[in-house]
Structure formats: C-alpha cells, structure tokens
Amino acid sequence: MPAGVAIAGLGHHAPERVVPNAEIEARLGLEDGWIARRSGIHSRRYAAPDEALTDIALPAAEMALRENGTSAGDIGLLLLATSTPDHLLPPSAPLLAHRLGLCSPGAVDITGACGGFLYALSFAENFVRLQKKPALVVAANILSRRIDPQERASAVLFADAAGAIVLEPAADPDCGLRSLELRSDGEQYDRILIPMGGSRRPFSPSADHAALKMHIDNGKRVFSHAVHMMAESARTALDQCGIAVGDVDRFIPHQANQRMFDAVAHAIGIPGEKIQSSVSEYGNSSAATIPLTLSLAHGDKPLLSGETLLFSAAGAGMTGGSAVWRV
C-alpha cells in the first residue's frame, strides 16, 4: 500500500496587468527606486475589474492537474487558501471544484493569511496518507481589492496571483512532509488588519471597509516578529526530522519582501543560491506566494526525486510556521 505523498503537479497563474513600481511611486510621491530598494519588488500583477478570485485560481489549478495527467475525478479533497474569496459566504472552494469538473470532492476555504498555504498543505498531505486519494491545494488572492492605494505600507507590496499543487499517494514512505512546525502569536493580532466586515465591526455604509490596513508605525515590529517566527520554526522543523540545514536543496519562503526572507535565510544559514524567489516580478500575493514560487522554480529547474524542500511563512494574525518536504 502507498505510504508516502508525492507532488504530482504544480501550477500558477498571474493576471495580465503588470503594475510597475513607477506607477505606484508616482501616485504616492516616492522617489524613483524607493520600492525596489526596500522590498526587492519591481512589479506586481493586478486582476482585471471583472475577475474574481476563482477566475485566477482556476487556471493555476488546471495547470497543476494537467502536468501529471491527474484525472479530475480522482481528486478527493480541494483546499483553497485565500483571504479574498468570491464572497464572504459561501466558501469559494466548492465553486472552484465545480468549475474544474471535480466529482463532488470535499472542498473548503482556509483563511490563514500568508501562512494559509502551509496549513492547507499539511491538512491535504494527511488526507492523502489517510484516504489514499489525491488532493488539490490552491492558494490565491486578489489583494489589489483590499489595499488602500494611498497607504504606503500595503500599496507598495501586495499583488494578485495563484499557485496550485496536486498531491497523490506514493510508494516511498519518505516522500511528503518530514516535519511541520506551525505557530501563532495572537499578541500581534491587529498589526495587519481588514478592520471591518467581521462580527466585531460589521459593514458600515459610511466607512471604507475594503481596505487592508497595516499600522505603518508598527512596520518594523511586523518585520521583526515575522523573521523570528519563520527562522525559529524553520530551525525546529529541521531539528525534528534530523535534517541539517546544509542538506536543504531549495528554500521556498513566503514572498513578503526580499529583505524579510533574506534575513530568515541568513538567520538559519541557508545560502542565497538555494532561495527560490518570485517577489521581484510578482510582489506579495499572501498565501499564493509559496506555491506560485515553487511552480515557477519547477518550470525553470524541475524538482528531482530525493530533493529536500523547506517552506516557511508568517503573516497576519500572526500565524505561520515551517515545513520540511521530501520530493
């Protein structure tokens, strides 16, 4: 009987509209090069006005299913990691499953912000081990609808994109998650916040309820806590499975900004050539950045059997963690 979990397919999608730094710098009155120097971002993608979350998630999922010829009818579970669903209710995952032609799989959204993909990946991996059925994880966001275009902290970073991964049973018991360290720090709960629309502060017709609000005066604190969470959870995850940092083949961090994941890599001793990055061209699409980056990296240099991958993320909540995966 299959005892491990393999990556059967990877996919990604970004909207057509490219938004260069110059457009945002001009709007905010920033000097040329200001954004790139501080974030490593040179451009990002924005969805078209008529595009919803499932519209950009769909092609990423189709690409992942197509890569290994996985039949849509074989998928037993679809998890959609997103902070920007088509609607607050119902969840968007069942609609995405329907549009993909999946045969009545389990399907639900996971709202874990930037760490959402790690949670979805761990849940899906355990499903595959238990049920011996393939699972599909999609992470997607349209954050251009949730930023205040005049608020520098969010306007310069966030973007729209999707990434997807198909998991299937594997004969090799070493394939799949080797260790997982998930963390949260609720003391930092309100550092990155969409202030209205939930049960604490319902919608108000007189307020801007759609804006993603980051407290600018706490930007350094967010950075510090995120680096600490990612680095400490990565060390713990590696220690748990007895893998030395030098044996990691690829480090795929959440693409918050380049300074952040460079700091994490430095803290845990991972050389720059092992960091997989997409932030320069695609910006920060929250939960989507890890599968997006992994799919792009796989396209440039295909994953090989036996490779060790290290994932790490931290974001709003704060929630995040790290995972070690054996291909």
CA distances from residue 315 to 114, 147, 312 in whole angstroms, order as listed = 5, 16, 11
**Residue 230 shares a structural domain with residue 262:** yes
Q: Which of 158, 194, 141, 148 is nearest to 27 (CA)?
A: 148
**Residue 157 shares a structural domain with residue 188:** no
Domain count, the chain: 2
Q: What is the residue type of 13?
A: H
pLDDT tens over the chain, length 327 residues: 568 999 999 999 999 999 999 999 999 999 999 999 999 999 999 999 999 999 999 999 999 999 978 787 899 999 999 999 999 899 999 999 999 999 889 999 999 999 999 999 999 999 999 999 999 999 999 999 888 888 888 899 999 999 999 999 999 999 999 999 999 888 887 777 676 667 776 666 666 555 555 444 467 788 899 999 999 999 999 999 999 999 999 999 999 999 999 999 999 999 999 999 999 999 999 999 999 999 999 999 999 999 999 999 999 888 999 999 999
C-alpha of 174 from chain center = 24
**Residue 270 shares a structural domain with residue 235:** yes
Task: Assign 14 to helix, strand or coil.
Answer: coil
Strands (E), 23-66: 43-46
**Residue 148 shares a structural domain with residue 211:** no
Last residue in a domain, options 113, 142, 170: 170
Q: Annotated active-site positions, please?
A: 114, 254, 284
**Residue 214 shares a structural domain with residue 125:** no
**Residue 51 shares a structural domain with residue 107:** yes
**Residue 202 shares a structural domain with residue 268:** yes
What one-character DSSP code corresponds to residue 31? P
Altogether, the residues listed in the chain come to a count of: 327
Rounded to the nearest 10 degrees, what angle do helices 53-67 and 289-300 cross at? 40
- Residues ≥6 apart with Cβ < 8 Å to 300: none
**Residue 101 shares a structural domain with residue 24:** yes
**Residue 105 shares a structural domain with residue 240:** no
Last residue in a domain, options 144, 170, 196: 170
User: According to the model, what pLDDT value does residue 129 have?
Assistant: 95
**Residue 29 shares a structural domain with residue 90:** yes
User: According to the model, what pLDDT value does residue 215 have?
Assistant: 44
Tokens of 140: 């997607």
Rounded to the nearest 10 degrees, what angle do helices 289-300 and 116-131 cross at? 70
User: According to the model, what pLDDT value does residue 186 have?
Assistant: 85
User: According to the model, what pLDDT value does residue 211 have?
Assistant: 55
Last residue in a domain, options 143, 170, 197: 170
**Residue 125 shares a structural domain with residue 192:** no
> Cα dihedral angle (295, 317, 135, 312), rounded to 10 degrees?
40
User: According to the model, what pLDDT value does residue 205 have?
Assistant: 62
10 half-sphere exposure, CB direction, 13 A CA radius? 19
Q: Which of 276, 310, 3 is nearest to 179 (CA)?
A: 310
What are the helix (H) ranges across 175-307?
219-241, 258-268, 279-282, 289-300
**Residue 196 shares a structural domain with residue 151:** no
Place of tokens 């990434």: 163
Structural domain span for residue 269: 176-326
User: According to the model, what pLDDT value does residue 288 have?
Assistant: 98
Q: Can you give the CATH number for the domain in which 195 is found?
A: 3.40.47.10
Check: CB of residue 309 under 8 Å from CB of residue 248.
Answer: yes
